[in-house]
Amino acid sequence: MKILFEVRAKDLLGRLGRVRIGDKSIETPAFVPVINPINQIIPAQEIKHEFGCGIVITNSYILYRRLRDEAAERGVHSIIGFDGVVMTDSGGYQVLEYGGVDAGPVETALFQESIGTDVAIPLDKPTGVVGRAEALATVEQTLANVRETIRALGDSRRCAWAAPIQGGIYADLVKRCAEELSEMGFFDIYALGSPTPLMQNYQYEKLVKMMAVAKLASPVDRPLHLFGAGHPMMFAFAAALGYDTFDSASYVLFAREGRYMLDTRTVKLEKLEYLPCECKACRGVSVRELRSMEHRERTRLLAYHNLSVCFREVALVKQAIAEGRLFELLELRARGHPALMQALHHLIHDDKTLSAMESHTPISKPRALALYDSSSLARPEVRRATKRLAYISLNPYSRVRAVMIPQRVVTTKRLEDLLTRLREHVNIEEAILMTYYSPFGAVPLPLARTYPFSQVIYPSSLLSSDVEDNIGRAVDVLRRSKVREVLLVKWRREPPEWFIKALKERIIEELRDVKAGTVEI
């Protein structure tokens, strides 16, 4: 079964699109609930009806062990009661938890084909968190199983097949596994395995690194899946790193433990004082009533609530991609937990991944950029704009004077009125005009009212916290413009005296033949 993948909007490496599998389709990014084929706390079809869920994942090994003949006769859709896209895991979770399964790769593959699975996964050997030698062995075993599966299926396959990428925390092994799977030319979808142990131990920095490596080594035109995505606070990171679908059983696992999901954490039911949610499960019930319920009913309500948090987060991610503000959502979610903030800090120093994000982010966007602190300066739009400044001709007429105007004055006042006032003090026709005191350093005036230089909002604290780098960027522009005199314009309180003083001192220190003065308008 071949798939079609259509992308209609991009931001960072995130893709808002549609995956068509046979006669069914799903919108991406998509949350994929894990469904127990034997015991469903919330039936799969109810999840589809309540949340618009178009895809679920279930365990084919459990079906193989307990309902083999019935599943082959009725099909997996009938067994779990779901008419959308069904993805089946081959038993990798059992391999990770228990060390093995009582079925080989060929048996597993043929069984998935026989039960009508839409998306099947070869029997892999999950890496988990292990030493390098053991991690290498899991990659070798996974690749060997995949080759055996492909030989057995030949050209007669019916399902769409997902390539299981292993290697764990070892970037070179993840890269090798992804590249070798890609070279096989067999797979319709790619999927990264073994994130769960890292999530359980809040090792998000290692997880983000692993996810980025797998993404950059996988075919760009195929959907990418993340196994065991865990808590929805990770969904924005998964989407930003190019993962189109991500599954999780946490909604029901947490519910069984009496844990209530919030956007950035979970809370034990006994520690809850309020239900800060308006989903159907939370309406009309108090915390006290929830605690006093029979275990199965309480588990069902908590699972329903947890699902609502997951699907709401996916909707937020989709909206962020559509608006071009996915980086802003990353920054918001990173503040939900210190380990996530550490992961964001790793990401903004990963030049290879940031360059890939930059190449996939639209050149312009319909809304202003919101910058909050120095982390925001790593977003692709800022990186791209800074590079533009490094390559353009700054002083094509070889003028000797640069007149620097505060950026906010240019974007908030009538420019002609400003220039008229400025002409009373200096001959601007014989000077190059630039803006300064903005996150971009110094920008030639013709560019200063274009995207993104003028479509940006930020607190003044960004400029004070980034002052050394900001002034450095401005001085670099002046150095390349080869002027001999700089006139810094001050308009009322823009910029503050301390900034003008620091900039003048830096100009005198680094551009020794350049004079620096000030004019107040």
Q: Are 77 and 37 in contact (CB under 8 A)?
A: no
Q: Which residue matches tokens 């002409």?
A: 423
Distance CA 136, CA 48 (A): 39
Residues 448-481 as b or e (16 or more Cβ within 10 Å = b): beebbbbbbebeeebbeebeeebbebbbebbeeb
Instruction: Report how far apart, in Å, the C-alpha atoms of 250 and of each of 126, 239, 266 are.
Output: 19, 18, 11
Which residues are within 8 A (CB) of 423 and not within 5 positions of it... i.e. 6 or more apart? Answer: none
Q: Are 453 and 483 in contact (CB under 8 A)?
A: no
- Per DSSP, the three-state class of 518 is strand
Amino acid making up residue 186 = F
Is 89 one of the catalytic residues? yes
Instruction: Report how far apart, in Å, the C-alpha atoms of 117 and of each of 12, 107, 113, 160, 392 are.
Output: 32, 14, 6, 8, 55
Q: What is the DSSP letter of 156?
A: -
Distance CA 502, CA 197 (A): 49
Hey, which residues does 197 pair with through a beta bridge? none
Q: Which one of the listed residues 11, 23, 89, 244 is annotated catalytic?
A: 89
52: left (phi over 0), alpha (psi -120 to 50) or beta: left
Handedness of CA 49, 51, 55, 59 (dihedral sign): negative
What are the catalytic residues? Answer: 89
